[in-house]
Amino acid sequence: MPKEAETIKRVLVTGASGFIGTNLVKRLVEDGYEVTTLGRTGTVPRALRELPVSHISCDVTNVEQLDQSFMDAKFDCLFHLAGLVSYQAKDVQRQFAVNVIGTRNVMNAALKHNIKRVVYTSSIAAMGLPKEGSVGTEEIVYNLGGRGLNYCDSKYTAELEVLDAWKRGLSVLILSPGITLGEGDTHSHHKAIVNAMAGKSLIFVPPGGVTFSDINDVVDAHINAMTKGRTGERYSIV
């Protein structure tokens, strides 16, 4: 465990069943942290059941459940990764509830229970598009509203909730990975992209671009964010 992180011992991770969350929890355990996962299921995610990890069954949209969960266990650091990734119209309401209201609830609970450091995992999708010919940076003003990109809208709005909590005194920062690839990734569409590129089977390249992140870099960024980085800032991991 890094020297500067000696005061951080107990860590809570939401969204631990996802690709990033699973790899983050494994790394935290390897580094000697006491880890608890939080999710709607009643048990630790399957990929983590062989590890010394505790679990809290809780829905982030339920304020009372969250408050009780934070009250029962004193956490030093919180990684909030829980979110619903979907571009389907049928998921819009649930997506807003989880990604926006859920994030607001988690930030409020972290403030109320004096969490020392909070790391919110957003997405490059919440950053908007740079002007043609310019390099995208964290300073881009979100410009994807009104295009029906509900996932992007929800992650951007969630970032506003995070920054509001920061203004009220929460020690929190935002990490924005791109499409995250690496060992252990089970997303079939990710595999299809890589296979198509490796096999040169792409017959055309549409306009635009896609940002990718390596899972090892993303996990490293999360670990570093516990003790480094300026609160109230957003960091791109692409």
Residue 4 has pLDDT above 80, yes or no: no
Beta strands in the chain (DSSP E): 10-14, 34-39, 54-57, 77-80, 117-121, 172-177, 179-181, 212-214, 234-237
Q: How confident is the model at residue 161 (pLDDT cuts 50, 70, 90)?
A: very high
Task: Provide the domain count of the chain.
Answer: 1
**What is the C-alpha separation between 20 and 186, in angstroms, rounded?**
12
| pLDDT, tens digit (0-9, with 9 covering 90-100), for 119-158 | 999 998 888 777 776 667 777 888 778 888 899 999 999 9
Average pLDDT over residues 200-225: 78
User: Which of residues 198 and 99 earns the better pLDDT score?
Assistant: 99
Question: Cα angle vertex 222, ends 217, 223, to 5°?
Answer: 95
| Residue 200 pLDDT level (bands cut at 50, 70, 90) | low
Domain range enclosing 40: 3-237
- Evaluate whether 10 touches 33 at the Cβ level (below 8 Å): yes
- The answer to whether 172 and 231 have CB atoms below 8 angstroms apart is yes
What confidence score (pLDDT) does residue 77 get? 97
pLDDT at res. 87 = 86
Would you put residue 59 in left (φ > 0), alpha (ψ -120 to 50) or beta? beta
To the nearest whole number, what is the mean pLDDT of the chain?
87
User: pLDDT digit string (tens) for 171-191?
Assistant: 999 999 998 888 776 654 545
CATH of the domain at 193: 3.40.50.720
